[in-house]
Amino acid sequence: MKKDSKIYVAGHLGLVGSAITKNLRSKGYTNLVFRSLNELDLINQAAVAAFFEEEKPEYVILAAAKVGGIVANSTYRGQFIYENMQIQNNVIHQAYVHGVKKLLFLGSTCIYPKMAPQPMPEDCLLTDTLEYTNEPYAIAKIAGLKMCEAYNLQYGTNFISVMPTNLYGPNDNFNLETSHVLPAMVRKIHLAKCLEDNNWEGIREDLNRRSVEGVDGSANEEEILTILNKYGIQSQNVEESNSQKVVLNLWGTGKPMREFLWSEDMADACVFLLENRNFSDVVQESHSRNSSEISVNSQSHEVRNTHINIGTGKEISIRLLSETIQKEIGFKGKIDFDTTKPDGTMRKLTDPSKLHGLGWKHTIELEEGIKLMYEHYLK
């Protein structure tokens, strides 16, 4: 890519897109194109076609998606599969129609089977059953990366796919109804700390920034305590002091292992691959032959799993994660786990050896990232 190449970042306001945008700017890319959801609904096929005809981007980064944690995935199953497939179909197809030089598609490690080998290599895709709770979202993401592969093979496009592990960082989603595990924990433990300290000003400020089911800082204490209790933040008065005895209840057993990657590290990996990798490189390495020899009519070689994992190769239990965040925030109450609630997949550790072999590795370790995350949340 040239520094003045026109680059369209779809989903530039989200966790992933904002981090990639920041990285591109830091590297001197000046011709970036954006559209907010109010300006362009990527589910609208005609609108997406008109946008590509008007702007004619040379490069596309598809970071727009409907995302959420285990509760959102379980609740909005139809929306997750429909909206994500519509977004992908529209953007990927118009990138082909308008001759985009390279497209980067971002998926998720939930594409891998529930009982995938650990760590999960790219080649374990579609080898077993998916985790049920996020199956619709996973199927949409699998369809996206397979669409990129199929267009590359039939039309000669240069669409590459990456599978980032669990991400966290600036501009994360802290909505308790839809957020992922780490930002949800940060907010819940922050609120539990405020309640523990009888810091009602802090609680009201938090709810004014991000209301929960319509409850904001203007609600009375009883209403606020009710909504906090619903999301696992429970308290009782301690008569001999001015403080509260607070217990935080989290879903599951706390035993599942998860891998977390700072979003700005992920963004750096994405731009690294945009600058250094093409679909032909991946095919050539996978089959030890020149990609130009592989055509849609070729029966002797199969082109599969050309995506690249982006991760740290390190994991932590949900229980230890909660204790690490608790220590950072200074919450002294008890954290319990509701074992009647689902755990999801027990392990989801990526094998990032393919990316490491290309010369890229992460720089922010989890403990430092949690500190940065909480500083960002307070701001």
131 lies in the same domain as 276:
yes
Task: For residue 267, give both structure tokens.
Answer: 């963004």
Q: Residue 330: inside a domain, yes or no?
A: yes
The string of pLDDT tens digits covering residues 106-126 is: 998 889 999 999 999 999 999
pLDDT of residue 286: 63
Tokens 């240069």 belong to residue: 158
Does any domain span residue 344?
Answer: no
Same domain flag for 163 and 186: no
pLDDT at residue 237, rounded to an integer: 62
How far is Cα 341 from Cα 253, in angstroms, rounded to an integer? 8
161 and 202 co-located in one domain: no
Bridge partner list, 368: none
Q: Identify whether 331 is part of a domain.
A: yes
Q: Report how far residue 305's alpha carbon sits from residue 127's, in angstroms, rounded to the nearest whole number.
A: 11
Q: What's residue 67's pLDDT?
A: 81
pLDDT digit string, tens, across residues 251-299 = 999 999 999 999 999 999 999 999 999 998 877 776 654 444 444 444 4
| 128 and 203 assigned to the same domain | no
Residue 138 lies in a domain: yes
pTM of the model: 0.89
Same domain, 63 and 117: yes
| pLDDT for the residue 239 | 55
84, 233: one domain:
no
Average pLDDT, rounded, for the chain: 92
- Whether residues 42 and 68 share a domain: the answer is yes
Question: Which amino acid, one-letter code, is at 90?
Answer: N
Rg (CA), the chain: 22
- The 10s digit of each residue's pLDDT in 222-250 is 999 999 999 999 987 655 555 669 999 99
Q: Which residues pair with 294 in a beta bridge?
A: none
Q: Do 24 and 273 form a contact (C-beta atoms < 8 A)?
A: no
Domain co-membership, 355 together with 330 = no
CATH number at residue 43: 3.40.50.720
**What pLDDT does residue 289 have?**
42
Across 302-323, average pLDDT: 95
Residue 52 lies in a domain: yes
Residue 323 has pLDDT above 70, yes or no: yes
* Number of domains within the chain: 2
Domain-located, residue 45: yes
Residue 25 lies in a domain: yes
Q: Report the pLDDT value the prediction gives residue 266, as an integer from 0 to 100.
A: 98
In this prediction, residue 66 has a pLDDT band, given cuts at 50, 70 and 90, of confident
Note the pLDDT tens digit of each residue in 31-58. 999 999 999 999 999 999 999 999 999 9
Is residue 379, in this structure, part of any structural domain at all?
A: no
Is there a contact between 133 and 70 (Cβ–Cβ < 8 Å)? yes
Query: 140 and 124: one domain?
Result: yes
Q: What DSSP element (H or E) covers 306?
A: none
33 is in which domain, residue-wise? 7-171+259-314+349-365
The fraction of the chain above a pLDDT of 90, given in percent, is 82
Same domain, yes or no: 111 and 78:
yes
135 with 72, same domain? yes
Q: Average pLDDT in the 3-23 region?
A: 96
β-strand pairing of 233-237 with 244-251: antiparallel
Q: Judge if 43 and 157 occupy the same domain.
A: yes
For the residues 72-92, what does the mean pLDDT come to?
93
Q: What is the pLDDT of residue 291?
A: 44
The pLDDT of residue 372: 97
Q: Residue 175 in 3-state DSSP?
A: coil
Using DSSP, state whether 166 is helix, strand or coil. Answer: strand
What residues are labeled active site?
137
pLDDT band for position 152 (cuts 50, 70, 90): very high
Q: Mean per-residue pLDDT for 127-147?
A: 95
Q: What is the pLDDT of residue 343?
A: 86
